[in-house]
């Protein structure tokens, strides 16, 4: 696991983040949305996918995992904040994708911290 987590483009948690972000961006294709739900899912999904790509490219970047947790939490609360809880499909998508993003970030944080510590010792 240590060897995989130090090489770019090999961390499964970050790949999961990219996939979850893309699913959030494209979710309007299969769920009914309002204008607020549509743009919230597109913007947060794109940020989640972009953060995953950055984390894949730079495995020792601990800030990416923290940002992933924040973006996942924002997606979870977005149906209430943006008032689209009445759109069941969009709300469920936000809650599930946001929750999975949050969990992936929390699971990846110890790995990123360990990689960051090893990389810092190599300087």
Per-residue pLDDT at 51 exceeds 50: yes
C-alpha dihedral (75, 81, 83, 89), degrees to nearest 10: 20
49 contact partners, CB below 8 Å, separation of at least 6? 17, 18, 20, 21, 22, 24, 25
- Give the pair of three-digit tokens for residue 8: 């770019």
pLDDT score recorded for residue 11: 87
Domains of the chain, residue spans: 2-122
pLDDT higher at 56 or 2: 56
């Amino acid at each position: 696991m240590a060897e995989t987590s130090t090489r770019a483009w090999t961390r499964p948690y970050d790949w999961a983040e990219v996939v979850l972000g893309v699913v959030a961006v494209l979710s309007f294709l299969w769920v009914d949305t309002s204008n607020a739900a549509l743009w919230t899912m597109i913007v947060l999904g794109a940020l989640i996918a972009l953060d995953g790509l950055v984390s894949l490219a730079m495995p020792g970047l601990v800030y990416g995992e923290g940002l992933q947790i924040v973006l996942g939490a924002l997606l979870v609360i977005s149906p209430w904040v943006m008032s689209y809880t009445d759109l069941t499909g969009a709300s469920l998508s936000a809650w599930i994708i946001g929750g999975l993003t949050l969990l992936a970030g929390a699971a990846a944080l110890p790995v990123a911290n360990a990689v960051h510590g090893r990389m810092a010792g190599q300087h």
